[in-house]
Amino acid sequence: MEQQRILIVDFGGQFVQLIARRVREAKVYCEIVPYEQAAEEVWKNPPKGIILSGGPNSVYLPDAPRLPEAFFDTGIPILGLCYGAQLMAQLLGGSVSTPDRGENGRTALMPGPRGAQPGAVYPGHLMHDIAVDSCWMTHMDFIDAIPKGFTITAHTGTCPAAVMENHEKKLYAAQFHPEVSHTPFGKDLFENFLFEICGCRPDWILSDFALEQIEAIKEKVGDRKVLCALSGGVDSSVAAILTQRAIGDNLRCIFVDHGLMRKNEGDQVMDVYTRQFDLKVKRVDAGERFLAKLAGVTDPERKRKIIGEEFIRVFEEEAGKLFQECGTFDFLLQGTIYPDVVESGTSTSATIKSHHNVGGLPEDVEFTLLEPLRMLFKDEVRQVGEALGMPEGIVWRQPFPGPGLAIRCLGEVREDKLCILRDADWIFREEIAKAGLEREIWQYFAVLTDLRTVGVTGDFRTYDNVIALRAITSTDGMTADWARIPYQVLEEASKRIVNEVTGAGRVVYDITSKPPATVEWE
């Protein structure tokens, strides 16, 4: 059976990936395309339905993102959200303007146009049989006149046309954001659109995806060899196990241990790779090399660049040795996932060149990229890992930055500081696990600040390091709230860190959400 899909048109909205996640959660496959490519994509491969995302622009400005008017005449159901709703109205003969005040945040939504009877049900198809409390608005413009053929099915105190539709032409629009969790009925609205309006089937099953990808890798690679740079994270690990199932020992992996991982993590990862899955992995212990490069460096961006460049150099050296041992590798396996594709795009081939002072590889070695997870979100990658029988410790490993503890160790990165950070982080993670919260919290870790604090231990004054604990809840990592960890858990973690970690003198808890903060401190 041919794979059905929903096409999501990206107008630069901050929630576009969240729209895709909501569609995937309904077990319907979808893809995101920039608005400039949308018309061509629809003509080339018509989808079951189209969703137009929000965006930061005003539709009435001359340089605002546009679609051809014919885009709305294909007969394919279209749902416009926020900017997408306004664009639909503007292009089809309605009008959009700026009200006296916008709406931002939780907003009461009322059925029908203004003047509808109190207690009336929501008319139309998009809002059919939905129990509505409130919705989440983020707009400064609104639809003040709807196009001919449309009816208003909901309004707010500011928006006269918060929801409108032309069911005959299968066109639907909502000014609010059903994709965010703050719109409690958002799931129902998407299901109405996907199943009742578009006629989709809930057939996006991740266990089926794993089997299909194994067969696809077999067909693409054949008896040729694949090289993989393993990080120990869930994405590269799942990609490696998936590929091993397809081609066996023709996959060779290099695990560059930069010495910036969490306590015992390198050993744990290698145990899983070699003992449980018999992956052909070469571990490169390069911690001293990375620390030497980082000596005296305090700027976070310089840290990141140094670590990224040194990683490539170490990988090149070790790949060169494998070339001499095993012969040519035709493919480079990467754990690219869909947010990487959406945000930056990837090409179909990659060229790795030796640096002038690093030998090993030929002068210009070209690989074809192998990216079996490039259409999946992080939670979908985890589901594939579970379908492959991978252990929970790998599948549910927390997101971990490429530069590792270097950006959780503020200021200069030294081995003595890393030891303090590893031990504090270990204790925090142990206490979270004891409390049974490890699956409820998206990410939790310790940060070694670049601050010292006065304290008292026994009869002596101390002047030791400040440890910050960070824990967040999130569904996608794009926005996050600080985790409301029970006080007794924080208290136990704090007591243990101060008493058990030499050099730790004070513990603080970060209660800043994203935005305005980021997840990491650097």
Catalytic residue ranges: 82, 177, 179
β strands within 42-161, DSSP E: 49-52, 78-81, 95-97, 103-108, 110-111, 134-139, 142-145, 151-155
Pairing of strands 171-174, 78-81: parallel
Q: Strands 331-333, 349-353: parallel, antiparallel or unpaired by DSSP? A: unpaired
Tokens, residue 487: 């006080």
Chain position carrying tokens 């196009």 = 147
State both tokens at 353: 């060149």
Which residue has 């911690």 as its token pair?
Answer: 287
The Cα-based distances of 219 to 210, 280, 439 in angstroms read 14, 21, 37
| Calpha distance 175→167 (Å, rounded) | 17
Contact between 104 and 149 under an 8 Å Cβ cutoff? The reply is no
379: left (phi over 0), alpha (psi -120 to 50) or beta: alpha
Nearest to 11 by CA among 61, 58, 66, 55: 55
Q: Which helix (H) or strand (E) holds 425?
A: helix 415-434
* 161 DSSP assignment: T
Q: Which residues pair with 110 in a beta bridge?
A: 155
Q: Which of 486, 402, 400 is nearest to 446 (CA)?
A: 400
Measured torsion, CA atoms of residues 242, 248, 254, 257, in degrees rounded to the nearest 10: 60
Measured distance CA(505)–CA(298) in Å, rounded? 22
CB atoms within 10 A of CB 1: 5
Helix (H) or strand (E) holding 324: helix 300-326
SS3 category, 341: helix
Tokens of 520: 């990491």
In this structure, which amino acid lies at residue 344? Answer: S
Residue 247, Cβ neighbours under 10 Å: how many? Answer: 20
Distance between alpha carbon 136 and the CA centroid of its chain, in Å?
21
DSSP string for 202-263: ----HHHHHHHHHHHHHHHHTT--EEEEE-SSHHHHHHHHHHHHHHGGGEEEEEEE-S-SPT
Mutual angle of helices 206-221 and 378-387, in 10-degree steps: 80
